[in-house]
Structure 1
Amino acid sequence: MGVVIPLDEGKNKSASVKPLQALTKDDMERVNQLILAKAGSHVDMIPEIANHLIASGGKRLRPMLTLAASAMFGYEGDKHIKLATSVEFMHTATLLHDDVVDESDLRRGSSTARIIWGNQASVLVGDFLLGQAFKMMVDVGSLDALDVLSSAAAVIAEGEVLQLSVAKNMETTEDDYLAVIRAKTAALFSAAAEVGPIVAGAGKSERNAMRSYGTNLGLAFQLVDDVLDYGGKAAELGKNVGDDFREGKITLPVVLAYRRGTEDERAFWREAIEEGGNDDAALSHALGLITKYGALNDTIARANHYGDIARDALAPLPEGAHKAALMEVIDFCISRVV
């Protein structure tokens, strides 16, 4: 089903990730080489599964945040390469685990690893990548960086369990949902941004600024993803419009439409999400209710709010190309809906 809901325009739909990609191009080539090296194993299935997901696309935004943040504070060594690779491995492991938990069939337009190799192999290869990530963190030799990234790994796992506890529960509040995405998504954005100033030897205020930037960028990023599932186009999503609905996922547009609806409308949501009545006809009705109550545009407004906090976090830091690129990334993440 390819229903596309018209959305209000974001702040800057011409915003691009290209300036960040250009600034980090050389370092990202080194990261990509290290990814391939560290994904290797004498157990053939491990590199097969890892490379399947690694090669499937994605802008690798999180490791680019680490590289740009370290350069912004004048770092000239090579430890940021291992930290950025660790960040990407943590992200990849999370995707492998999430696809199993969510029973997802598609990831960026391709069959998920669990469909090809099975759930058990996907989970175990995710564990292997996490182990490789922690080995690289130890190699870097920074206890502060290790603390930030290992803490993020624990928070992400907590977020995955928290998501299970609210899954298919229409009594989930907006605060409940924000707690899930703060842990599942924003924690890794935050850690990716904070380890940059850490490895560069920057001070506490710089670390705090980048941590806040990453957290709020991550929240904005996930909220826009929530919007795209109901208002995007399948070709751009790499999955079908409405997949979150079909999987019974509680996202902010659903929370808002449910809470603003009549009792009959809330009964529909309970049947669709909690009891699995989520066929194409139900999706069409859900899209109508989401439009009726302005749930997508209000979710975009929430994303813009967190984007503004991310901008304010960066504002006191020294001007330069890296800061400008990180600022533009905020607009890019939000402008994906237009």
Structure 2
Amino acid sequence: MLMNNDAAQKPLDLMADYLAADMAAVNDLITERMASEHAPRIPEVTAHLVGAGGKRLRPMLTLAAARMCGYGGPFHVHLAATVEFIHTATLLHDDVVDESAQRRGRPTANLLWDNKSSVLVGDYLFARSFQLMTEPGSMRVMQILSNAAATIAEGEVLQLTAAQNLATDEAVYLQVVRGKTAALFSAATEVGGVIADAPEGHVKALFAYGDALGIAFQIVDDLLDYRGDAQATGKNIGDDFRERKLTLPVIKAVAKANAEQRSFWVRTIEKGRQEDGDLEHALALMHQHGTLDATKTDARKWAEMAKNALAPLPDHDLKTMLGDLADFVVSRIS
């Protein structure tokens, strides 16, 4: 059942309250490890992004998974910080690739400094993440997180070739999303179970939950680009269209397009010849074919899959919060 916006905020806030001590330790570790004795621009750039008001969802998933599985040691904090560093590094790189000017309602680092700083600081954070992931001394943890880092990069490169190709279908879109977004969600939850030495069935359930939640999260994000509130999302409506990104609402519209409509998508997405009024026409075509509602249905399906994946896990307050979190993700478009 989807919650209204006031109620929808509760699962994330409840989880943050429940994990407040752990998150404080994560934040302290992030501050410590993003320092640089010789290059002060590194903490400057990192602090701008880290301090931009993000919910720290991904590291919270690691903490929640570990605690739910009974972990009592210190290293879930290192793994949560690792996850956040990987995420922050990808954001710095993404904003350069996308030539973005705004993130979370603030100017991007590449706009305030320059592309070189964003790329190099992102590289530094990736290196820091690899240092952090070694500290628990678990080869399996290192395999999961290093594989995720490689999968994220692979997903971003795949998106470069698929984003402006009208032959891109929903299967390729899902492959991109699993790479660039869901891979870090599933790694975040999976390593929480691994560090807690949870039974293999529980570890697999945590992976499946993170995978489905990450897919739902990205589908919602892509949908909000066409029907969201710019003030709430911190991004301008239609940015994906202007950047010629072939996301799920457009893929569905292209699949239902007649010859005249397809020529419009070829001109605006494949060839990039956009004119005044094109965004409005694109939205009209999506409404005509019901692709925004169909995309919402897909997001809800993945959220339900995330909730169902939790079934094998032990009863716990955090298990309830994780289930509610899946509802929260899709409530942003209700």
Bin for the TM-score computed over the shorter chain: over 0.9
Contact kept, 8 Å, 1:223 with 1:299, in 2: the verdict is yes
Shift of 1:181: 0.4
Contact kept, 8 Å, 2:152 with 2:184, in 1: the verdict is yes
Partner Cα separation in structure 2 for residue 101 and residue 121 of structure 1: 13
For 2:2, the aligned partner's letter is K
Structure 2 residue 288 is matched with structure 1 residue 306: no
The residue number in structure 2 matching 1:235 is 231
For 2:149, the aligned partner's letter is A
The residue number in structure 2 matching 1:23 is 18
The residue number in structure 2 matching 1:4 is none
For 1:11, the aligned partner's letter is L
Partner Cα separation in structure 1 for residue 63 and residue 137 of structure 2: 17
For 1:284, the aligned partner's letter is E
For 1:146, the aligned partner's letter is M
Which structure exhibits the higher relative contact order, with contacts defined as CA atoms closer than 8 Å and separated by 6 or more residues? 1
| Counterpart among 119, 123, 129 of residue 127 in structure 1 | 123
Q: Which runs of 5+ in 1 are unaligned?
A: 1-9
Contact kept, 8 Å, 1:20 with 1:329, in 2: the verdict is no
| Counterpart among 128, 137, 140 of residue 141 in structure 1 | 137
After superposition, residues 250-269 of structure 1 pair within 5 angstroms as 250-269=246-265
Partner Cα separation in structure 1 for residue 328 and residue 275 of structure 2: 33
Partner Cα separation in structure 2 for residue 23 and residue 272 of structure 1: 47
The residue number in structure 1 matching 2:48 is 52
Shift of 1:144: 1.1
Give the match's secondary structure for 1:31: helix
Contact kept, 8 Å, 1:245 with 1:283, in 2: the verdict is yes
After superposition, residues 113-192 of structure 1 pair within 5 angstroms as 113-192=109-188
Contact kept, 8 Å, 1:23 with 1:68, in 2: the verdict is no
Partner Cα separation in structure 1 for residue 163 and residue 309 of structure 2: 32
Partner Cα separation in structure 1 for residue 326 and residue 133 of structure 2: 27
Question: RMSD over aligned Cα, in angstroms?
Answer: 1.1
With over 3 angstroms needed to count, the CA separation of the structure-2 counterparts of 1:192 and 1:280, relative to structure 1, is farther
Contact kept, 8 Å, 1:197 with 1:207, in 2: the verdict is yes
The residue number in structure 1 matching 2:36 is 41
The residue number in structure 1 matching 2:65 is 69
With over 3 angstroms needed to count, the CA separation of the structure-2 counterparts of 1:279 and 1:232, relative to structure 1, is farther
Contact kept, 8 Å, 1:83 with 1:136, in 2: the verdict is yes
Partner Cα separation in structure 1 for residue 53 and residue 118 of structure 2: 18
Give the match's secondary structure for 2:53: coil
Tell me which stretches of 4 or more aligned residues in structure 1 moved more than 2 Å.
Answer: 10-16, 277-280
Partner Cα separation in structure 2 for residue 12 and residue 238 of structure 1: 22
With over 3 angstroms needed to count, the CA separation of the structure-2 counterparts of 1:261 and 1:324, relative to structure 1, is same
Contact kept, 8 Å, 1:31 with 1:85, in 2: the verdict is yes
Query: Per-residue CA shift, 1:305-326, capped at 9, x if unaligned?
Result: 1111111110121111010010
With over 3 angstroms needed to count, the CA separation of the structure-2 counterparts of 1:249 and 1:112, relative to structure 1, is same
Partner Cα separation in structure 1 for residue 206 and residue 276 of structure 2: 43
TM-score, length of structure 2 as denominator length: 0.96
Contact kept, 8 Å, 2:202 with 2:312, in 1: the verdict is no
Structure 2 residue 265 is matched with structure 1 residue 297: no
Once the two structures are overlaid, the 10-residue window that deviates more, 287-296 or 224-233, is 287-296
Shift of 1:279: 4.2
Shift of 1:259: 1.1
Structure 2 residue 105 is matched with structure 1 residue 112: no
The residue number in structure 1 matching 2:282 is 286
Partner Cα separation in structure 1 for residue 311 and residue 182 of structure 2: 20
Partner Cα separation in structure 1 for residue 53 and residue 259 of structure 2: 43
Shift of 1:244: 0.6
The residue number in structure 2 matching 1:82 is 78
Once the two structures are overlaid, the 10-residue window that deviates more, 15-24 or 153-162, is 15-24
Contact kept, 8 Å, 1:246 with 1:279, in 2: the verdict is no
Aligned length: 329
Contact kept, 8 Å, 2:163 with 2:247, in 1: the verdict is no
Shift of 1:280: 4.4
Sequence identity (%):
50
